Amino acid sequence: MLVRPFSLRDVAFAARLSAFEGWGLAANEYENLAHFEPHGCFVGEVDGEAVGMVLAISYGKLGWISALVVKRPYRGCGYGSALLRTAVAYLLDHGARTVGLDASPDLADLYVRAGFAPAFDILYFRGQPRPAASAHNGPILPFKARDLHAVTMFDWACFGANRERVLRALLRLSPVALLAQDDAGVGGYLMARRTHDHWTVGPWVCTRLAEALLQQAVASIGPEPLRLGVPAVNASALRLVREQGLEEYYRETRMYHGDPEGVGHPETIYAVTGSDKG
């Protein structure tokens, strides 16, 4: 198999693969990913036919891999492993000491064989939340562009890497962006954006005021369905989303390769950004 860089002419191929796998990512979302880290996206070809892909994002000492997929007729030939090795090598060459990813149940064994170790599960919830009794004000403020540096530093301490590029991009895409801030400084933040027929909540990262952030978000969104992925190690987050009446429908396993210090503090992650960006 020939592994080559992903280009904009591959966007339609990526969207077709996504639709076949039921991921629900549209062509423009792959185009955005390709622009975000153009040198970290790869396509595998056999006899000139595109048969698989993988995406990688460098956060410095932490690298992230997503969208590893091979067309079904070509599975079992080692092509997925070859794409994975390419993505890992790219991230290590760009300074990563830890590489993370979210593994679907059917790919977990592949990642274990490649040296990835399970850390914790991500539980995905969906449903229409209970109406918010009242919107919290006080320490819950709109998250503005001027807050980006402070939020990035806060997120870095929690997630384990500098995600300023991701946060800046998501802030532009998130009509609901909230900041929990009091006399002690930033205590958390939450972003939510419209995706197809629902709102996707995440990232939602907190050391305090998590419930107030969620209630404000629910009040801002209104009576519409939500989806979010919650680390299974965050008991407080699980309690909050279940109290809202949301139901678990899917799970993945967050896995890491390399230095365990790059894992961050998942107990402060109330909702992940997504499997594509961590």
| Confidence (pLDDT) at 14 | 85
Residues 72 and 156 in one domain: no
Report the CATH number that the domain containing residue 47 is assigned in CATH.
Answer: 3.40.630.30
- Region 49-78: mean pLDDT is 92
Residue 132 has pLDDT above 80, yes or no: no
Residue 135 has pLDDT above 60, yes or no: no
The mean-pLDDT minimum among 60-69, 128-137, 165-174, 208-217 falls in 128-137
How does pLDDT run across 223-276, given as a tens digit for each residue? Answer: 999 999 999 999 999 999 999 999 999 999 999 999 988 889 999 999 999 888
Residue 181 has pLDDT above 70, yes or no: yes
Q: Mean of the per-residue pLDDT values for the chain?
A: 91
- If one compares 15 and 148, the residue with the highest pLDDT of the two is 148
Residues 168 and 262 in one domain: yes
Within-domain flag for 91:
yes
- If one compares 157 and 23, the residue with the highest pLDDT of the two is 157
| pLDDT band with cut points at 50, 70 and 90 for residue 8 | confident
Residue 20 has pLDDT above 70, yes or no: yes
- If one compares 131 and 65, the residue with the highest pLDDT of the two is 65
How does pLDDT run across 70-110, given as a tens digit for each residue? Answer: 998 998 899 999 999 999 999 999 999 999 999 998 889 98
Say how many C-beta atoms besides its own lie within 10 A of residue 41's C-beta. Answer: 24
Domain boundaries, position 174 = 124-271
Residue 134 has pLDDT above 70, yes or no: no
| Confidence (pLDDT) at 57 | 93
| Confidence (pLDDT) at 84 | 95
Residues 131 and 266 in one domain: yes
Residue 191 has pLDDT above 60, yes or no: yes
| Confidence (pLDDT) at 35 | 73
Within-domain flag for 188:
yes
Domain tally for the chain?
2
Within-domain flag for 143:
yes
Residues 63 and 148 in one domain: no
